[in-house]
Amino acid sequence: MNKLIFFLLITPFLSPADSYQKEYETVSVKGETKIRAKADQKTSSSSFKSVASIQNHMAMVGGGSKYGCYDLKEDKFILPIEYAYYSMKIINENLVMGTKDKVCRIFNREGKIIHEFPQGHLRYSNEHSLIVVTARAVGPNDVRKRNVHSIHTTYLYHFASKKLFTFKGEVRNPNTRNLLFGFALIESDETSSKFGCIDTESGLLVLPMDYDQIDLLSKGLFATHDDQKVRILDRKGNKLADFIQASLALRNDRYVVFTRSHNIKDSFSFLLDLKNNKVAELKLGAVREEVAPGIFSFNGSEAWGLVKLNGEILAKSQFEKIEYDGKKFFCGTYREGGTAIFDENGEIAVSLDKGKVRWHHYYIDNHKGFYKGTLVAKDPDGTGYLVGRNGEILSKKYPKSNLSYQYGFVSAFSDSKWSLCTFEGKALHDEPFDRCYQSKNHLVVIRNGLSGIFNKQGKLIREVKYKRVHMDRDGISATIDGEKVLLE
């Protein structure tokens, strides 16, 4: 247990680059610590007090408060042991960063200075580039209500072209989803605090610092916010759409939805297909959630409907409630009563003009999950029963009843009695029960003071004839009339 806790504590501090430690090991030679390659058993000629990390065949070595960088391939120091550990970073197989005397320096593998930045610190790096931000204090700034105002400069060093790009402003939120797509947000130092966007793959400023807010929707699409307007731009700055007073409602890797819903009658939505970079407009209705892959529910005219990602209306806003069975069919219940069951193309399979129907959840795969499978109908007078997808009545009708699932079958509580049937409506017994209750893996039923036991599959494994049944916690045994028995 203690080992598990220790692993969980150190896991957040481990990086993929530490996998290089699998190729090397530390060894003690005459009381000194050295690094040895596991493949050819080649050992470093230098010895170290400690080894902090190994990446790209380079090691951060030293001890106490000072560290340096050692090239394990060339068996020599790249940087001497003169740097604080937190100020050093192995960026890639060719570059190392070290900060000393408040100057951030980027070195190549030979130890030569590539660039240096006074008052700078590394903000972010990936396989394409690194970003260093510097700050220079210039005195009071009453507008921002701070005693000292700092002027920031962002430098982006592009690895492939070996070019250094300079931007007036400060990179913000370096660990957000924007950087996962190769972009970095940069904020101007002006009092208006406008934002722009840098492409870390090319080093270019993709969007100027003219926007109040920028959201990266995908690798190729941006949403900019300015003067209550949302504008969708591609990475070249081309406009795809404009939304007035719209807000981000839903997003994932496949789509983004913007809505405006001051009231139901004045609501609309925009659906962005991120895979195809296409925008569809829903002129009447506020999209609420994705109920099936690529199909969304929307609220328009005080009723629910369905719309596809491409803007095609699957079901008009006419339902009090819409449910999905997790496979193919939707079940829409009208406010005035009645139900329509239709597929993902909008074709109606069942139309019932009486009562309301809902999907009934039930468990599958040995209680490891559930989906909406059986249709439960309820007439206006409270009569409940099961309905098939073609509209046929599967079970008997239970007056003023509540139907619910019990493991692998359905229970109906009607006239103060319990009845059980399969999801196909087949009755599991002749006479109803006075009571029933679930245990871990079974259902105990009671009739006229005598008890019986059903398993999850709806099979009666103990007849209703026992005076007392006590289910054990293990879920596989019970004490029946004072005798402990294994149930199955």
What's the rounded Cα separation, in Å, for the pair 68 and 58? Answer: 10
Helices (H) and strands (E) in the chain, counts: 2, 46
**Maximum Cα–Cα distance for the chain, whole Å?**
92
What's the rounded Cα separation, in Å, for the pair 100 and 113? Answer: 13
Q: Please give the pLDDT value at position 4.
A: 41
Contacts (Cβ under 8 Å, ≥6 apart) of 145: none
Burial grade of 199 (CB within 10 A; 0-12, 13-18, 19 or more) = buried
β-strand pairing of 221-226 with 213-216: antiparallel
Which residue has 């003067």 as its token pair?
227
Q: Please give the pLDDT value at position 424.
A: 84
- Taking CA 332 as the corner, what is the angle to CA 331 and CA 335, rounded to the nearest 5 degrees? 150
| Distance of alpha carbon 341 from the chain centroid | 31
Q: Please give the pLDDT value at position 367.
A: 38
- Taking CA 428 as the corner, what is the angle to CA 423 and CA 432, rounded to the nearest 5 degrees? 115
What's the rounded Cα separation, in Å, for the pair 187 and 198? Answer: 11
Q: Please give the pLDDT value at position 449.
A: 93
Q: Which two tokens stand for residue 312?
A: 């095609």
**CA nearest 253: which of 277, 206, 201, 217?**
217
DSSP bridge pairs for 340: 332, 351
Neighbours of 346 (CB within 10 A): 14
What's the rounded Cα separation, in Å, for the pair 282 and 305? Answer: 11
What's the rounded Cα separation, in Å, for the pair 42 and 61? Answer: 17
Which residue has 């890639």 as its token pair?
92
Span between the terminal Cα atoms of the chain, in Å: 34
Q: Which two tokens stand for residue 99?
A: 């900060």
What's the rounded Cα separation, in Å, for the pair 213 and 202? Answer: 22
Contact present, 317 and 299 (Cβ < 8 Å): yes
β-strand pairing of 369-378 with 384-387: antiparallel
Contacts (Cβ under 8 Å, ≥6 apart) of 393: 377, 385, 386, 387, 425
What's the rounded Cα separation, in Å, for the pair 86 and 84? Answer: 6
Q: Please give the pLDDT value at position 446.
A: 94
**CA nearest 107: which of 63, 77, 134?**
77
Average pLDDT over all residues of the chain:
81
In the chain, which stretches have pLDDT less than 50? 1-19, 142-148, 175-176, 362-371
What's the rounded Cα separation, in Å, for the pair 361 and 380? Answer: 22
Query: Phi and psi dihedrals of 13, rounded to 5?
Result: -95, 0
The answer to pTM > 0.85 is: no
Contacts (Cβ under 8 Å, ≥6 apart) of 345: 314
pLDDT tens track for 60-89: 998 778 999 999 999 999 999 999 888 889
What's the rounded Cα separation, in Å, for the pair 99 and 122? Answer: 9
What's the rounded Cα separation, in Å, for the pair 283 and 273? Answer: 17
Amino acid identity for residue 454 in this structure: F
Domains, in order of start, for the chain: 17-92 (no CATH), 325-428 (2.40.128), 433-488 (no CATH)
* Percent of the chain whose pLDDT exceeds 90: 23
Question: How does DSSP assign 62-78, residue by residue?
Answer: EETTEEEEEETTTTEEE
What's the rounded Cα separation, in Å, for the pair 56 and 93? Answer: 5
Which DSSP letter does residue 18 get?
A: G
pLDDT tens track for 392-430: 788 889 998 888 777 778 889 999 999 999 888 899 999
Q: Which two tokens stand for residue 10?
A: 């150190």
